[in-house]
Homo-oligomer: A and B are copies of this chain.
């Protein structure tokens, strides 16, 4: 996989937040240099994960948050019947595991989509540091809040958008995140399967497949298995919006 080439060489990383290329993306953002070192000391290295490896499962005791350093993961919940719902795909710089704070055990599962490396933040140690560094505490709250906001977007997408709008929105947001990671945002390398994409959007795989084909016919995308080139970002953006439809979702007093 070439997808890790844009990320730092692992041997450089040596569990050091202050030298981490993702510095601006995760917890340390907005933290001073000395506080960064204190945070640094709480970070424990985590073995890298291979595709399909599980970082934590539903029911696991909560003892750490995790930062994606390279690669990507999916997180999902399952009901009693075994139905799965993918909640998010996680790219480098993102922190996961917040769902476990409520009950001290995880209520979702996180699984690597490709070879990935992970920073572990043992929560007990993290709490010590946050209690001494208020800025870090605030930053941590901000990060959870971002997750809440992101889920609002997911809900809006699932509840109010048509299938094609959903897929367009999904690709658009992936491109935006690539850009923040300084990657080429016009050439996406999808580490997740079509099944995963379909599940994430509340659709079935055949629908997603047809939509990829349709958007290729429209000249918006060039699709080649895992590789998606965005030929017309402008068109992709316009496909995200529902044109005219769904008066039921509009507010009388909107505008």
Q: Which A positions have Cβ atoms within 8 angstroms of B?
A: 77-85, 87, 98-103, 107-108, 127, 130-131, 134, 137-138, 140-149, 151-156, 158-160, 195, 198-199, 201-202, 204-205, 241-242, 246, 248-251, 254-255
- B107 near A149 with CB under 8 A, answer yes
**CB of A196 to closest CB in B, whole Å:** 11
Look across to chain B and name the residue whose beta carbon is closest to the beta carbon of A140: B141
Number of copies: 2
A128 (CB) vs chain B CBs: closest residue: B134
Bound-state CA distance A100–B149 (Å) is 8
Known: A101-B141, A101-B144, A102-B142. 6 other contacts (CB 8 A): A82-B251, A83-B250, A84-B251, A85-B156, A87-B155, A154-B155
CB distance from A138 to the nearest CB of B (A): 7
B145 in contact with A101 (CB, 8 Å): yes
Known: A137-B137, A156-B77, A198-B248. A254 touches B82 (CB 8 A): yes
